[in-house]
Each structure stands twice: as C-alpha cells, then as structure tokens.
Chains A and B, each alone.
Chain A
C-alpha cells in the first residue's frame, strides 16, 4: 500500500538503527520473554504458587522444584513467575500514571508559559526536594499497602522528569514555523498542542517511560522488601527476596533468584531505553 510507506520509512529507519544495537535487542528480548511469561503465568508454571507443602520446606533446587522451595514449601519458580506479573503490572501502570501527569504538566507549562509555567515549574522543584522513596514509604505507611496504592503513589511521585522533558521540548517546538503555520490557518490551542507539539515531543518521552518502568519496578521491590509493598501471600519479587533473607545461609536460592530477576529486568529496560534514545536521535551516540 502506497500510503503506508511514508509512515513506515520514518519508523523503519529508527527500527533499523535499534536492531543494530545488540545490547538494546538483548534488553528487548528479556522484556518480551518476561511480558509473555507474566501475561500467562499459569501456562508457564505447573505448581500453584500458594500451595503449602510442609514436607518439602526449604528444599534445594531439583527437577520437581527447579528453583527449590521456600520455608512454607511453596515452589519458588512458580512464585517468581506469578511475581513477575505483579512487578511488571506495577512498573507499567505507575509509569503510565507518571507519564500522563508529566505530559500534561509539561505541555501546559511549556505552551502557555507565564504564570502557568512558573507555578508548574516551582511545583516540580518542590516535588523534587522530597527524597521520593521516603515520601512513598510514609504515604504507603499511612494509606496502607495495597497494589493500587503502591501504583498510584509511585506514579504521583515520578512524573517530574517527564514534565521537565516535555516542557523543554514544548518550549522549542512552539517556536517552530509549523506551529506558526497552524495558528495562521486558524487552529486553536488544543489542536496545536495535541496535533503539532505532542507527536513531535513523544520520542524522548518514550525513552524516559522505558527507563521509568525499570525505576518503578525497583521501587516496588524495595517497598516489598521492606514489608510495606505487595503483601504476602501475593507473590512479588521484592517479598520473595525478603522472605528468603531469613534463611540465606541454608537456602541461598530463595534470595538469589528474585534478586537476579530484578537485576535482569531493570537492566533489560535500561538497555532498551538507551537503545531507543540512540535510535531516535543518532547524534547522542557521539557523546
């Protein structure tokens, strides 16, 4: 079809550059595998993640339990797979909240300028003053740990980076001639913001969103590790890790595998994010 070649060639160009970056491809592969696993957890794990088997407590890795069992005899592999679902869900949704708020704030501040910019920019500065992890800790301690609370709070404390990025992009885009042309044609503010500025500001946002997922997964793991994140018996990588630390001398696999999973996932997102950044803007590679 002739009318898709245009859209594709811009996209394909970026995709081709991305596919030449081996680290980014590896990161993308990790994320893809995790995504598939977390969407169909029951398909990949035979065992029930909550089934307690007191006869097989702290069993070392074997053919029945490839990653061993925890102190209640639950299958660690199965818990990890179900935990992947929770961790990725938290990562994606909180990043989605943060990106949406950041986009809105950044577009308003950058486009309208003046007092709107002053208010939003100072608000960003104030939000950045809080050590965000401790802010999240205290809010969760106050509201009670539930997955929804955790996602909302991580989202509400993580939008400032996106907002600054979008504000800066908007400031430069709104001076471009095509925005003046749209205004001369009679387009209103809403059309200019959403049809002309937003699509051109999305590339760096995509990068920051990818890195944001990694950050949110880390925060969720940290919260769960401290016991105020996802609550047992719901498995998440953070609470599997924390449950394992009591028996780390006798059953090292309890802590090693969730730790590795967090490491690999976060690394995967960071590599992909940096890969996208380089693919979208090849000049950055020179740095």
Chain B
C-alpha cells in the first residue's frame, strides 16, 4: 500500500497511468463525546482510526463491516463532507485534504454521494428538477428552461418519467426516490461516487434494479464507486475490490473474487460463514462471541481479539499491521 502513495509534489500533472482515482492515506477521525454534563472527562469515538485505501478509476471498491465500524464516516471523509483529524486524501493525484472555499466547491464537480435513506436525502420542499439541478445552478452550468430540460433528460436516464421534474419528493416511492438521489449524484458527471448503503433501505426486489442502474451508469460514464454496505450479497454483486472494516480499521483488503473464495482474516471468515455458498454447499458456521466492542474503548492490541476464535495471548499486545500476503491481498492478522 505505502508503495503507491502519490507524492504531493505533482499536483498539476495528469495522474499517471494506473494511478488511483482516490487515495486515502492513514485517515483518522475521532468524534469527541463528553461522558456527562458535569464531568470534564472527554472520550472520543474512534470512528476511523488510520485507514489507507485506493479507488481505481471506473472500478468499485466495497467497504463492508458491522454497523458502527466507521464505514459511513470513511465515505464522508473521502469526499470532504467531514474533515479528517489526520491523514491525507488524494483525488486524481492531487492532495485535497485541506482544500477550502472556492477550490473545495470546484472539487465537488468531481465527487458525489448517494445516501442510504431516500427519505431524508431529498428536501421535501423542493421540486425534483431543483433537487437534481442544484449543482448546475450553483456552478453556473444551467438555469431556468435549460435546467429544466437537462433535468428531464437526466431523470429519463435513471429510469424516471420526464414529468417527474415538476413533482415533489413525497410523490415517489423509496426506489424512485433513490433514483432521484442517483440522478443528483451523477448530474455533475463525477468521476467518483460514494454510495453509502444505497440499497439497504429498499425492498429486495427494488434493490436489484437500483444496483443494476448503478452498474449501467458506471459502464457508460466510467464512474469509480466507493461502495459502502453491510450486506455481503450486495458487495459480492457490485464490487471489484473489497475492504473489510472492523472498529475503524481495515482488517482485510482483497479483490472481491479472491475474498469471497478464500477469506483470510478470522473476522472476514466469520462474516462469510453466514453466507450460503455459490455451489450450494455450506461453510462451517463461525459464530462470534459477544457484541462489537464500543469504539470509545477500543481493545488494546488486535481490535478483534476479544471475539476472535483464533485469539492467542500475543494478540492483546501488538496491533497487527495490514500486510500484503500475496498479490493484491492484504490482511491484518499474522496467524491468518
């Protein structure tokens, strides 16, 4: 991983061939929480605790993990919706960690997000054309009649009727609303879209339609996705590369095919053991003991040792680094 760090110096140059679209380097985000109103002790939720990850152009990188493992926070860090406490974010070879003001606004043209909840992600007081066309308006790309026409074309592209442009969000179903959210995300022709659990609020029958729409758009426009999900079936369907997160760190990173065929990290193995196998056979079920520990009090050493079925005494002492095991496969466990 470290070998692929993009140097800060070449920010004006075109990214080299094969260079990642997005690079995250050692990202850290802690949210301070105060225990009680009267005490001054402060704790912090270590939502993202040192994550490095690359998204190649036109590919889909999946982020999978239990709720509270920091995947949503990482997605929002990647497109600068929240600011990291440490680490670097590089987009198309250029460091964007501290961009602000007009530069940050212009950066928004290249990276967008699709949200999990199709209800809270659309402003109930705005017409659909104003929702999907907001980017055009604020960047001076189109307004008035031109905006309306572009909005109608865009809506048809995501499989909605053109007259949806004049309606309000409450007139649509969850799946249709998610199409509107996707239309908004692609309205500025971004190279990167963070899909934050884009189908987990939808019915299974609608999930497939939305996933196929996302894939079609990727094929047509070459969009790179950072695809956040807790649903392994969705990840397997969508992703080229999968990163497994546990308590704010990546514990395994591998091409999707390899990961699903042969998971290495004990956490990944336990997650996958819950999935039915492609051939109809069955893996041995690995049932993890206990709950995921609080991200406020992260266990010392390997974060997973409290629930690991392979845990050894040494696991409590030193946190294992994410190391390359074989080509493209990274694991943070010395015993895997």
A284 at the interface (CB under 8 A from B): no
Q: Is the CB of A191 within 8 A of B138?
A: yes
Determine if A184 is an interface residue (Cβ-Cβ < 8 Å): yes
By the criterion CB–CB under 8 Å, are A183 and B81 in contact?
yes
Q: Closest Cβ of chain B: how far from A87's Cβ, in Å?
A: 34
Q: Once the chains are docked, how many angstroms separate the CA of A3 from the CA of B117?
A: 26
Contact between chains at A2 and B113 (CB < 8 Å)? no
Tell me the chain A residues, 7-37 only, with Cβ under 8 Å from chain B.
Answer: 7, 9-10
Question: Can you report 6 residue pairs joining A to B where beta carbons are below 8 Å apart?
Answer: A9-B171, A180-B113, A185-B112, A188-B105, A188-B138, A200-B124
B135 touches A200 (CB 8 A): no
User: Nearest chain-A residue to B119 (Cβ)?
Assistant: A177
- How far apart are the CA atoms of A187 and B134 in the complex, in Å? 8
Q: Is the interface of A mostly helix, strand, loop or mixed?
A: helix
A6/B138 contact (C-beta < 8 A), A185-B184, A186-B108, A186-B109 known: no
Closest 5 CB pairs of A and B: A177-B121, A3-B166, A186-B108, A6-B168, A185-B135
Are the CB atoms of A199 and B121 closer together than 8 Å? no
The reply to whether the CB of A130 lies closer than 8 angstroms to some CB of chain B is no
Closest residue of A by beta carbon distance from B116:
A177
Contact (A185, B134) CB under 8 Å given A2-B166, A177-B115, A180-B113 = yes
B69 on the A face (CB < 8 A): no
Contact A10 B170 (CB under 8 A): yes
Q: Is A55 part of the binding interface, using a Cβ–Cβ cutoff of 8 Å?
A: no
In the complex the two chains form, what is the Cα distance from A3 to B188 in whole Å?
A: 25
Q: How far is the CA of A3 from the CA of B127 in the complex (A)?
A: 9
CA distance in complex: A186, B112 (Å) = 10
Which of B81, B135, B138, B167 lies in contact with A180, CB distance below 8 A? Answer: B81
Give the interface SS of chain B, mostly helix, strand, loop or mixed: loop
Check A193 for interface membership: any CB of B closer than 8 A. Answer: no
User: Chain A, 166-187, contact with B by CB distance < 8 Å: what is the 0/1 string?
Assistant: 0000000000111011111111
Are B122 and A178 touching (Cβ within 8 A)?
Answer: yes
Docked pose: A65 CA to B110 CA in angstroms: 76
Once bound together, how far apart are the Cα atoms of A110 and B111, in whole Å? Answer: 28
Q: Other than the known A177-B120, A184-B81, what 9 A-B pairs have Cβ atoms closer than 8 Å?
A: A2-B163, A7-B168, A9-B171, A177-B115, A177-B117, A178-B120, A185-B184, A186-B105, A187-B138
Minimum C-beta distance from A85 to chain B (A): 35
Contact of A196 among B106, B123, B167 (CB under 8 A): B123
Contact A178 B135 (CB under 8 A): no
A-B pair count, CB < 8 Å, reads: 76
> In whole angstroms, what is the CA distance A10 to B131 when docked?
17
The smallest C-beta distance from B39 to any residue of chain A, in angstroms, reads: 20
Known: A10-B170, A180-B113. A186 touches B135 (CB 8 A): yes
Contact A176 B120 (CB under 8 A): yes
* Closest chain A CB from B112 CB (angstroms): 6
Interface residues on A, range: 20 to 34
Closest residue of chain B to A191 (Cβ to Cβ) is: B138
Q: Complex: how many Å from CA A181 to CA B138?
A: 13
Contact of A6 among B108, B131, B135, B167 (CB under 8 A): B167
- The verdict on A186 contacting B122 (CB below 8 Å), with A6-B168, A6-B171, A7-B168 known, is no
CB A112 to nearest CB in B, in angstroms, measures 16
- Which of B115, B139, B166 contacts A181 (CB under 8 A)? B115
Q: CB-CB < 8 A to A195: which residues of B?
A: 123, 126
Cα-based distance from A181 to B81 in the complex (angstroms) = 9
Closest Cβ neighbor of A181 among chain B residues: B121
Cα of A146 to Cα of B285 in the assembled complex, Å: 83
The verdict on B243 contacting chain A, using a C-beta distance below 8 Å, is no
Query: Please, which residues of chain B bring their CB within 8 A of the CB of A178?
Result: 120-123, 131
Question: What is the distance, in angstroms, from B255's C-beta to the closest C-beta of chain A?
Answer: 29
Contact check, A186 vs B139: say whether CB atoms are below 8 A apart: yes
CB proximity to B under 8 Å, residues A188-202: 188, 191, 195-196, 199-200
- Given A177-B120, A185-B134, A186-B139, CB of A199 within 8 Å of CB of B109: no
Q: Which residues of chain A come closer than 8 Å to B297, judged between CB atoms?
A: none
User: Is B79 interfacial (CB 8 A cutoff)?
Assistant: yes
What residues of A have a CB within 8 angstroms of the CB of B184 in the complex? 181, 185
